[in-house]
Chain A
Amino acid sequence: MQSVALQPVTMKTNRIKQADSPDLQYSSVLQTTNLSVYYGGHCAVDQVSLSFPKQSVTALIGPSGCGKSTFLRSINRMNDDVDSCRTEGAIYYEGVDLHSPHVNLHEIRKQIGMVFQRPVPFAKSIFKNVAAGPMRYGVKDKKELQRIVEENLKKAALWEEVKDQLHTSALRLSGGQQQRLCIARALALQPSVLLLDEPASALDPVSTTKIEELISQLKKDYTIVIVTHNMQQAARISDEVAYFYMGRVIEHGPTEQVFTNPRHEQTAHYINGRIG
């Protein structure tokens, strides 16, 4: 192993330099081409080609079991850990094929953060939850860690609520606070993409509003892909919408257009609550 392996990763990436390359000019940070995901013999995602523009929110909508969560999980290759799961097609992140054998899986997940449906705080203090990622990636300096924790808790709009109890267990927080903590934890690794899998579906309305406000804030710095069952939520926070049905993308376009003037009748039916 090279000594490079152990070097602490500074929280800067050379993304910009990459974008300058004429070969890799792209408007979107993330795109999939003909991505298919199979569970055993069942095709859960069927040849989906989508691209996600930088610093925008894309909402994936569709009835239960339509493959949107599976699609989301295959972007940061979480499905790798499912034994029966097989993926075809390509995912490009900043022009890099994420299925290339030379790509470092853990780097992918560091740059493409993920937040789950149910909040999953670790059984540690609030501070350690946020610091867990940076510490793993070699940040040892206490002051630096404190700075990172504060910065990201602020970004996740949680700082004011927890700043006096940073060293108490994260499990004592309310569900909504826990979910924002999970977002802060993901942000602490300085990702450029955030994948949100129905992040508010297990929360009360007040917490949901807070998460939605947070997403609108985060959009300035991050590319966000969110799976949601809530049409109002999709309409409120997203810039683009992709409608999934039976593993396929039926319609994809700017939110306003999809919601006011869908091209497909089926999309209209779903949005108006006739499917799912």
Chain B
Amino acid sequence: MAKMIKETEHPLYRKSNKMRMERIGKWLTFLSVALTATITAAILFLVFSKGVSTFIVNDGSVKEFFTGTTWNPAEVNSLGQPIIGALPFLVGSLAVTGISALIAGPLAIGAAIFMSEIAPNTGKRIMQPVIELLVGIPSVVYGFIGLTVVVPFLRGLFPGSGFGIAAGTIVLSVMILPTVTSLALDAIQAVPRSLREASLALGSTRWQMICKVVLKTAKPGLLMAVIFGMARAFGEALAVQMVIGNASVIPHSLFEPASTVTSILTMGMGYTVMGQAENNALWSLALVLLLMSLFFTIAVRMIGKGKSS
């Protein structure tokens, strides 16, 4: 017993407030993480619950939503269901996303190859900073230039007003080009030097080395870069809305006014009243947008996982 008392006098038994600070710190930082995650969960929950109310509260038909071509949620059809044919928007969104990926993807990968393999010095010192700068240009600026340059240009070349999927695609392609280039460059630069040298040492030309070694090894990363660009294009609202013409029909050509999911959301949300069928139908579109962005995220993750294993 006497020994116990003696022992507790030793400075090593001195209590300090460090452990309490440690606990407080750990909890505070955990709360920040939890808050961020909770916000995401709240967004998912809110958009989901509002998005399905079209089908649950207003008796909208899921089939009509995905296949119908008439969008007039304020009215009901003969079955008493709101008219919510969202196909024109879905087609519009998929078209601008797909075509701009087809345009921007190869250009971006070409540029990345150039910056990494052909002219690494110019690439690193001049092009890379410029590309990084362009990643930061606000999308409204792209939309504005589309409106003042691309639309009049198309109007001069093709019949129609110039607004339409073609204009939207051009704007989006230019907009995602820096992002995709920058990510593609990362993917290509991650290919080990030794692989390239081995290929060149075996007598390959530079182009053979690029095709057989660099592109092959970097393929998952390049795919991720393009999907990332597609996710951005699909979710872009204002730049597209400014040039696509905002007609809720399926266009017959790329040069006729059309709509995307985001453009209709941007236009409509301010003119409808919360809780009404028209408004709920817009939230269903928001849900589609959210699900597509989840889909892109999952795709990127899957490719990333496949790459690492």
Chain A interface residues toward B at CB < 8 A: 1-2, 4-6, 9, 13-14, 17-18, 21, 23-24, 93-96, 98, 102-104, 106-108, 111
Bound form: Cα–Cα A93–B17 in Å: 23
- The residue that A14 contacts in the complex, of B8, B9, B16, B17, with Cβ under 8 A, is B9
Q: Which residues of chain A are within 8 angstroms of B11 by Cβ–Cβ distance?
A: 13-14, 107, 111
Bound form: Cα–Cα A198–B12 in Å: 27
Q: Which residues of chain B are within 8 angstroms of A107 by Cβ–Cβ distance?
A: 11-14, 16
User: Which residue, of A2, A6, A96, has the highest number of chain B Cβ atoms within 10 A?
Assistant: A96
- The residue that B15 contacts in the complex, of A21, A23, A104, with Cβ under 8 A, is A104
Smallest Cβ-Cβ distance to B3: which chain A residue: A23
Question: Is B10 interfacial (CB 8 A cutoff)?
Answer: yes
User: Which residue, of B8, B12, B16, has the highest number of chain A Cβ atoms within 10 A?
Assistant: B12
Question: Is B26 interfacial (CB 8 A cutoff)?
Answer: no
Smallest Cβ-Cβ distance to A6: which chain B residue: B17
Q: A24-B6, A96-B7 are in contact. Are A5 and B17 (CB under 8 A)?
A: yes
- A93:B6 contact, CB within 8 angstroms: no
B193 CB to closest chain A CB (Å) equals 27
Q: Which residues of chain B are within 8 angstroms of A94 by Cβ–Cβ distance?
A: 10, 12
Given A6-B17, A94-B12, A107-B11, 19 new contacts (CB under 8 A): A1-B15, A1-B17, A2-B15, A5-B15, A5-B16, A13-B11, A18-B9, A24-B6, A93-B12, A94-B10, A96-B10, A96-B13, A102-B13, A103-B13, A106-B16, A106-B18, A107-B12, A107-B13, A111-B11
- A23:B8 contact, CB within 8 angstroms: no
Smallest Cβ-Cβ distance to A3: which chain B residue: B17
Question: Is B63 interfacial (CB 8 A cutoff)?
Answer: no
Q: Which residues of chain B are within 8 angstroms of A18 by Cβ–Cβ distance?
A: 6, 9-10
Bound form: Cα–Cα A11–B2 in Å: 27
- A104:B9 contact, CB within 8 angstroms: no
- A104:B14 contact, CB within 8 angstroms: yes
- B6:A21 contact, CB within 8 angstroms: yes
A96 CB to closest chain B CB (Å) equals 5
Q: Which residues of chain B are within 8 angstroms of A24 by Cβ–Cβ distance?
A: 6
Q: A23-B6, A95-B7, A102-B8 are in contact. Are A1 and B20 (CB under 8 A)?
A: yes
25 residue pairs bridging A and B, Cβ less than 8 Å apart:
A1-B15, A1-B17, A1-B20, A4-B14, A5-B17, A5-B20, A14-B9, A14-B10, A14-B11, A17-B9, A18-B10, A93-B12, A95-B7, A95-B10, A96-B10, A96-B12, A102-B8, A104-B13, A104-B14, A107-B12, A107-B13, A107-B14, A108-B12, A111-B11, A111-B12
Bound form: Cα–Cα A94–B18 in Å: 23
Count B-side interface residues using an 8 Å CB cutoff.
Answer: 16
Smallest Cβ-Cβ distance to B10: which chain A residue: A96
Q: Which residues of chain A are within 8 angstroms of B8 by Cβ–Cβ distance?
A: 102
Q: Which residues of chain A are within 8 angstroms of B9 by Cβ–Cβ distance?
A: 14, 17-18
Would you list which residues of chain B between 15 and 66 have a CB under 8 Å from chain A?
15-18, 20
Q: Which residues of chain B are within 8 angstroms of A102 by Cβ–Cβ distance?
A: 8, 13
Would you list which residues of chain B between 96 and 125 have a CB under 8 Å from chain A?
none
A13 CB to closest chain B CB (Å) equals 5
Bound form: Cα–Cα A138–B62 in Å: 67
A3 CB to closest chain B CB (Å) equals 10
User: Which residue, of B2, B8, B14, has the highest number of chain A Cβ atoms within 10 A?
Assistant: B14
Q: Which 6 A-B pairs have the closest CB atoms?
A: A5-B17, A107-B12, A103-B12, A96-B12, A23-B3, A13-B11
Bound form: Cα–Cα A39–B299 in Å: 38
Bound form: Cα–Cα A6–B6 in Å: 22
Bound form: Cα–Cα A5–B20 in Å: 10
Smallest Cβ-Cβ distance to A93: which chain B residue: B12
Bound form: Cα–Cα A93–B10 in Å: 10
Q: Which residues of chain A are within 8 angstroms of B3 by Cβ–Cβ distance?
A: 23
Q: Which residues of chain B are within 8 angstroms of A23 by Cβ–Cβ distance?
A: 2-3, 6
- A104:B16 contact, CB within 8 angstroms: yes
Smallest Cβ-Cβ distance to B22: which chain A residue: A106
Bound form: Cα–Cα A95–B13 in Å: 12
Bound form: Cα–Cα A5–B10 in Å: 15
Bound form: Cα–Cα A107–B11 in Å: 7
Q: Which residues of chain B are within 8 angstroms of A103 by Cβ–Cβ distance?
A: 12-13
Q: Which residues of chain A are within 8 angstroms of B6 by Cβ–Cβ distance?
A: 18, 21, 23-24
B77 CB to closest chain A CB (Å) equals 62
Bound form: Cα–Cα A24–B12 in Å: 15
A77 CB to closest chain B CB (Å) equals 11
- The residue that A4 contacts in the complex, of B2, B10, B15, B20, with Cβ under 8 A, is B15
A6 CB to closest chain B CB (Å) equals 6
Q: Which residues of chain A are within 8 angstroms of B12 by Cβ–Cβ distance?
A: 93-94, 96, 98, 103-104, 107-108, 111
Smallest Cβ-Cβ distance to B6: which chain A residue: A21
Q: Which residues of chain A are within 8 angstroms of B16 by Cβ–Cβ distance?
A: 5, 104, 106-107
B50 CB to closest chain A CB (Å) equals 44
Smallest Cβ-Cβ distance to A98: which chain B residue: B12
